[in-house]
Amino acid sequence: MARWGMAIDLAKCSACQACVVACQSENNIPCVPPEEARSGRILSWISLLPELEGEYPRLSMRLVPLPCLHCDNPPCILVCPVKATGINAEGTVHQIYPRCIGCRYCTTGCPYTRRMFNWYKPEFPGDLALALNPDVSVRPKGVVEKCTLCHHRLMQAREEAKAAKRPLAEGDYLPACAEVCPSGAITFGDLDDPASAVAQLARNPRAFRLLEDLGTKPKVFHLAEGEWSGGRGNQT
């Protein structure tokens, strides 16, 4: 059984946000109008978390790509009253939309705030609905949604491998964000396969997990920048 995880190299990330848009395109995430955007209700399963420190001219900024971290010990699933969310055998934290009653306890339970609630009916103005991906359900108003590690791609990859009578190989299954990243910052794969790239990166000395002390055991590792980092001005 695989244990799907991700490693995001903050040194390589160019903060272009292609991952954000690719995820939205792949997963039928609706766009929200400007007023809703002002309330902070933009739906994006992966976003960049900006962290600016310092004063001009000594500044540093980190822009951390943050998908659902698919914790091995996820606090969000413990609080759902209807078991609309849980963790499957491969470690992916899933969401069952028809079961969700929209109480949003899970959005509070997630310490990384990676769960989003559909406050409004999703709109796809004009013919934009023609771009919808048939493999992913469109969520109705009133349910919580979050990153699924493009689980539908895993299902398709498994079927294709089965039809070709070969095992699932590394690289057959990639979420949209990992696939589109132009600088190659996102690595994805089976953490339990010691030879996989992601397993090796997870063991890298630069690797860390956000809010490690909470004991959530995320399966998304970030790799801190190296020696020269953060755009610090005026080194002398």
Partner 1 sequence: MSFKVGRRDFVRFAGGGALGMAASGIGMEAISRFNEALAAEQMQVPGGPESWALGVCTQCPAGCGLRVRKVGARAVKVQGNPLHPVNQGGLCPKGVAELQTLYHPDRLRAPMRNTGTRKSPRWMQISWDEAIATLTGQLRKLRDAGQAHTVALVERNRHSLSSRLMQRFMTAYGSPNYLVLPSGQDALKTAVHLQQGVTQPVAYDWDRAQYVLSFGVNLLEGWGSPASIMRAFGRWRDPSSGRRTKFVQVEPRFSLTASRADEWVPLRPGAEAALALGMAYVLITEGLYDAAFVREHTFGFEDWHDDAGRAHQGFRSLVLSEYRLQDVAALTGVPEETILRLAREFGNHRPAVALGDSQTSTLPGNPYSAMAVHSLNALVGSIDAPGGVLIQAVMPASPPPGSVTAWPRIDQSPSSVFPGHHLAEAARAILAGRPYPVQAIILNEVNPVFSMPNGTAFEQCLDQTPFVASFAVFLDESAMRADLVLPAQTDLEKWQAVTSPPTFPSAVQSIAAPVVPPRYQARQPADVILELAHQLGGAAAQALPAANFEEYVHAQAGELFAAQSGSVFSTSMEDAWNRLLDRSGWWSPTYATADELWEQMQKQGGWWDPTYSHGEWQRVLKTPSGRFEFYSQTLAHWAAAHPEFARNAGMKPDDDRLFLPHQTPIADPPPGYPLLLLPIEVLPLAGGEGGHLPYLQQIAGSHLFEAWESWLEMDPETAHKLHIPDGAIVWIESRRGRAQVRARVYAGVRPGVVHLPLGYGHTAGSELSRGGVNPLSLLEDRREPVAGLPQSAGTYVRVYPS
Residues in 181-200 at the binding interface with partner 1, rule: CB under 8 A: 181-185
- Closest approach of partner 1 to the CB of residue 104, in Å: 5
What does the angle CA 44 – CA 45 – CA 50 come to, to the nearest 5 degrees?
A: 70
The single residue among 1, 89, 130, 164 that binds partner 1, judged by CB under 8 A, is 130
The Cα 69–Cα 6 span in angstroms is 8
Give yes or no for residue 120 binding partner 1 (CB under 8 A): no
Which range, of 71-79, 85-93, 176-184, 187-195, touches partner 1 by CB under 8 A?
Answer: 176-184
Element (H, E) at 149: none
Q: Count residues binding partner 1 (CB under 8 A).
A: 104
The dihedrals phi and psi of 4, each to the nearest 5 degrees, come to: -80, 130
Listed in sequence order, the residues at least 6 apart from 221 whose beta carbon sits closer than 8 Å to its beta carbon are 5, 6, 7, 8, 201, 202, 207, 208, 209
The Cα 38–Cα 31 span in angstroms is 13
Question: Please, which of residues 59-78 interact with partner 1 by CB under 8 A?
Answer: 59-64, 66
Question: Please, which of residues 14-43 interact with partner 1 by CB under 8 A?
Answer: 14-18, 20-22, 24-26, 31-34, 37-42
Give yes or no for residue 13 binding partner 1 (CB under 8 A): yes
Which range, of 87-95, 162-170, 187-195, 202-210, touches partner 1 by CB under 8 A?
Answer: 202-210
- Closest approach of partner 1 to the CB of residue 1, in Å: 27
Site string for partner 1, 77-106 (x = CB under 8 A): ----xx--------------xxxxxxxx--
Which range, of 71-79, 87-95, 132-140, 187-195, touches partner 1 by CB under 8 A?
Answer: 132-140
* 100-139 exposure pattern, b = at least 16 Cβ within 10 A, e = fewer: beeebebbebbbbebbbbbeeebeeeeeeeeeeeeebeeb
Give yes or no for residue 11 binding partner 1 (CB under 8 A): yes
**Complex with partner 1: residue 1 or 228, whichever CB lies closer:** 228
What does the angle CA 100 – CA 48 – CA 138 come to, to the nearest 5 degrees?
A: 30
Question: Please, which of residues 144-173 interact with partner 1 by CB under 8 A?
Answer: none
Taking the CA atoms of the chain, what radius of gyration do you get in angstroms? Answer: 18
C-alpha distances (whole Å) from 183 to each of 11, 12, 110, 139 are: 10, 6, 29, 31
**Complex with partner 1: residue 25 or 172, whichever CB lies closer:** 25
